[in-house]
Amino acid sequence: MTATVGALVSFQEGSRLLKELAGTELKKSVLDHRQLPRACCIIDPSRAETGVPVGPLNRARKRSSYTELYMFQKLKPNTLRGRIAEQIRDAILGGALKEGERLVERKLASALGTSLTAVREALIELESEGFILKKTNFGTYVTKMSFEDVQKVFRLRRVLESFAMGEAARHRTAEQVEELEKIYLEMVEAARAKDSRAFNKADMRWHLMVWQMPGNEYLQAALRRGVLPYFAFIAIRITTVDPLRLLRDAYGHLPLLEAIKRGDPEKAEEVFKSTIDDWLAIAQSEFCTGSGADSSGE
């Protein structure tokens, strides 16, 4: 008789088979697994020599592992983390937390009446937005930049972001261009309304959209890491509003938008490199006068 059983058998059938298999090398292997549930047993044909059963116990184990995976319901975004991040962000933008100020997690948790874990998650979110910087072995600080730091960011932008502009033109889709146009109009409206906060928010969204368009996650990650802190820093430093400057900054995006829409990578890179020189000149004048940032100063 073939010493391979490849089907699910009942306890009664198993007893009958054991009698038939008496004296065979399989008997010991089957009997060794008497601790298995007596309802049924499977002997895997591919593992007949070892007599390893893959019956209800093993299946139950598999079901148990799947149950452990599927017992969780899909969770909504962590609203507590979001509320904490919003309060800290508002405190930074409102001036209650100053640029360069150290943020102590335990003090924040106590002030907000929340756990350390929730505060840490909120700080991770704010770091991804550029509002705070974590310095290894030194702590967490509200973003602060010197003009030397700004120059470093602009050198990075001249290389990486100009490349991103060209890639965005190369890989654009109609839906992405439509979204880019929508954000641009929001930027212009915010400038006309003298709403510098809304302007900088739309400005940041516009650039983030461009960074996403090439479909290169490594390029996007590098730009987010290197450039977002500058956008956040500008948002923090705004003290006065010059409507004409806001409008000029907004309209400076139009040639870029048109080049991307036409699918002209060379023109998009050329326009960006020219425009970014103007933005750096604005930033330099603001640092030199010590007046803070009264526009996006991209």
* pLDDT per residue as tens digits for the range 136-168: 888 999 999 999 999 999 999 999 999 999 999
Domain boundary assignment for the chain: 9-70, 79-142, 147-289
Integer CA distances (angstroms), 68 to 86, 284, 288, in order: 34, 57, 60
CATH number for the region 79-142 comes to: 1.10.10.10
| pLDDT greater than 50 at residue 239 | yes
Please tell me the predicted confidence (pLDDT) of residue 220: 95
CA 41 to chain centre: 48
Strands 9-10 and 102-103: unpaired
> Whole-structure pTM over 0.75, yes or no?
no
Segment 264-293 mean pLDDT: 81
Dist. CA 228–CA 205, nearest whole Å: 11
Dist. CA 66–CA 259, nearest whole Å: 51
Segment 245-263 mean pLDDT: 93
Please tell me the predicted confidence (pLDDT) of residue 232: 86
Of the given ranges (65-79, 92-106, 185-199), which has the lowest mean pLDDT?
65-79
* Higher pLDDT among residues 226 and 243, named by residue: 226
pLDDT digits (tens, 9 = 90+) for 105-133: 999 999 999 999 999 999 999 998 889 99
Confidence category of residue 32, pLDDT binned at 50, 70, 90 = very low
pLDDT digits (tens, 9 = 90+) for 35-68: 444 434 444 444 444 444 444 444 444 444 433 4
Please tell me the predicted confidence (pLDDT) of residue 67: 38
Burial readout 172-195 (b: 16 or more C-beta within 10 A, e: otherwise): beeebbebbeebbebbbebbeeeb
* CA dihedral of residues 96, 102, 206, 193 (deg, nearest 10): 10
| pLDDT greater than 80 at residue 71 | no
CATH number for the region 147-289 comes to: 1.20.120.530
DSSP 45: G
Dist. CA 8–CA 56, nearest whole Å: 9
Angle at CA of residue 40, ends 34 and 41, nearest 5° = 65
Q: Is the dihedral of CA 214, 184, 270, 298 positive or negative?
A: negative
